[in-house]
Structure 1
Amino acid sequence: MSFPSEISSGAAPAAVPPRRHRREPSGDRWFRWATLLPAVIVLVVLTVWPVANLLRMAVSTIEFTRDGASFAFTPAENLRRLAGDDLFFINLRTTVIFVVVSVILEMVLGFLLALMVSGVPRGKGLVRTLMILPILVPPVAIGSMWKLVYNHDFGILNQALGVVGLGPVGWLSNPDLALWSVVLVDVWHWTPFVFLILFAGIEGLPREVIEAARVDGATTWQIVRRIVLPLMAPAIAVAFIFRAILAFKVFDQIFLLTSGGPGTATEVVSLRLYRVFFDQNELGYGALLSVVIILAVVAFLLTAGALARRVGR
């Protein structure tokens, strides 16, 4: 085998001259910024300005007169009212319980369904189509349908209990059962969403790694725990973040099923905001509650992410 003369003779290789970076023409630089300008304007108009206006409302008391809306700067009064609003913190606790239980159930069921469907040799497309049907149903139809299912007198659940000799249950009128009944509806509605994301992630896994693990004698549980779950971490994180944010914003199905009742058993923060804004017409205090909810969602996601990283280690 022959080598270059500089290396074979022991001589040092010739120095390579440093590469000079060409300066970008000013016209190209300005053109790049000009093309980004529409997107920046849209971002400011649709995101930055509404958030700034929300913060302005949160520290004000807003009253409507013939001349329009008048803003009075009252941050201390709004904060004092928030500190004494026990009902809001009860609603926040109810919301956190709803989010934690429903999202965990949806993640577990969605992952199990994705594993099962990925093992089906034929008809994956048909199974996937049938699985996503609950997502396609409008929320109004879901609320009406499940209200009939939970009906005390002629609902299918109480009819089934009557067949086995049990009495009817107040699924939506019992304070101890109402929240869990709403959670069941949310799980039925959104588990297919989680299934779609995780199924796409499983289908994209490298089959060679899984087959090699099987050849080495790994069990199904070992493959899922040590190969599938670590490789699926990005897809799981995406599904969790989307579902957690959407669960915090739940409104329609609870409004249609229970309207927050019985009492405040199913009243979440979105319902509380609705009543403060539209029933009580207190825009400033409602804006402050909105800011608190945003901070609570961010804190929840950061805490969940920290726990996930700790478990991953």
Structure 2
Amino acid sequence: MATPVPSTNRQRPVSDFIDRHFLWLALAPAALFLIALTVYPFVSLVWMSLSTITFDRAAEIWQFTPLANFRELVDDDLFRIALWNTVRFAVAGVIAEVVLGLALAILVSSVGRLKGILRTILIIPILMPPVAIGSMWKLMYSLDFGVLNQAITALGLAPVNWLGSTSLALISVIIVDIWHWTPFVFLILFAAVEAIPADIMEAARMDGARNRSVVFRIIIPLVWPTIIVALFFRAILAFKVFDQIFLLTSGGPGTSTEVVSLHLYKVYFQQNELGYGSMLSLAIIAATVSFLWVSHRASRMLEAR
């Protein structure tokens, strides 16, 4: 007796469903894993920001105090100083990095055989560990034996207290950030400049366009979307700066280089105020989003012009 062949009609709806939704089914595990790693920590952060957390005999004691941490945030004068320092650091550093990165990208793209060598040399700063960068620049900024002050004194001038002056400390740290991250912006913009079709540049040259006209009327408009991407990338990273400030000045002298990430570190790990530290974290997230939103609107207005 022949064995009956099972019907495939029941399997077709399942296979059809898999074929129609294969992409979503393939991404579902990764999406669920990502949500679990983001939603739960954020919910926990919000819950911590509404609580006062103390420790007694290695045990956590949570007290629901929804307004206490918010009042402390409103009365925290140091946070406002740190926020203002962070905004100045981010605006000055990012603008300088984008301008220098674009200039280097245009110059290197116009070089012939040395293009690869120059690109390799220029990316060295972003390959260095932050600790090495902080140690190197701290020695260079040294008041007694730093190379900068040795050059200044060789010219007959008085040495400068780069990291110990309230008026120069933040500028000195911004210079280090520019040196460190301009190569990153250069790599992004260099790829965009290299992607400009050669016939466009040749047509402009044939029409008698000068170098300045080529840069401002052809190159910058064509790479403008990439400039915005680089600007936002660096703005996010600059707003979260910690290692350079911590290694060079630790927020001093006074509060002249205190930034929000360093202030948050002190609240969490030195003062052990976990509840208020969580409220500070939410405030920093809100400030970062607001800063990026204002930058986005400003870039849209410039693009519309």
TM-score, normalised via structure 1 length: 0.89
SS at structure 1 position matched to 2:145: coil
Query: Does 2:237 align with 1:237?
Result: no
SS at structure 1 position matched to 2:148: helix
Quick one: distance in 2 between partners of 1:130 and 1:194? 14
* Structure 1 runs of 4+ with >6 Å offset: none
Counterpart AA for 1:288 = M
Q: How is 1:1-313 mapped onto 2 (pairs within 5 angstroms)?
A: 25-29=16-20, 31-66=22-57, 68-313=59-304
Quick one: distance in 2 between partners of 1:26 and 1:201? 41
1:13-71, CA deviations, whole angstroms, 9 ceiling, x for partnerless residues? xxxxxxxxxxx923434654432221122111221111111111111111223473232
Counterpart AA for 2:118 = V
1:210-229, CA deviations, whole angstroms, 9 ceiling, x for partnerless residues? 21122122222222222211
Asked if the contact 2:173–2:245 (Cα under 8 Å) also holds between the matched residues in 1, the reply is yes
Counterpart AA for 2:287 = A
Quick one: distance in 2 between partners of 1:235 and 1:296? 24
SS at structure 2 position matched to 1:62: strand
Quick one: distance in 2 between partners of 1:49 and 1:28? 32
Return 5+ residue gaps in structure 2 as ranges. Answer: 1-14
Quick one: distance in 2 between partners of 1:67 and 1:153? 46
SS at structure 2 position matched to 1:306: helix
Quick one: distance in 2 between partners of 1:189 and 1:30? 45
SS at structure 1 position matched to 2:67: helix
Quick one: distance in 2 between partners of 1:306 and 1:67? 49
Shift of residue 174, structure 1, vs aligned partner: 0.6
Question: Which residue pairs with 2:10 in the alignment?
Answer: none
Quick one: distance in 2 between partners of 1:105 and 1:182? 13
Quick one: distance in 1 between partners of 2:134 and 2:141? 10
Aligned sequence identity (%) = 58
Asked if the contact 2:228–2:299 (Cα under 8 Å) also holds between the matched residues in 1, the reply is no
Quick one: distance in 2 between partners of 1:130 and 1:150? 23
Shift of residue 199, structure 1, vs aligned partner: 0.4
Quick one: distance in 2 between partners of 1:163 and 1:32? 67
Counterpart AA for 1:238 = V
Counterpart AA for 1:59 = L
Q: Which has the larger Rg?
A: 1
Matched pairs, number: 292
SS at structure 2 position matched to 1:175: coil
Quick one: distance in 1 between partners of 2:126 and 2:101? 13
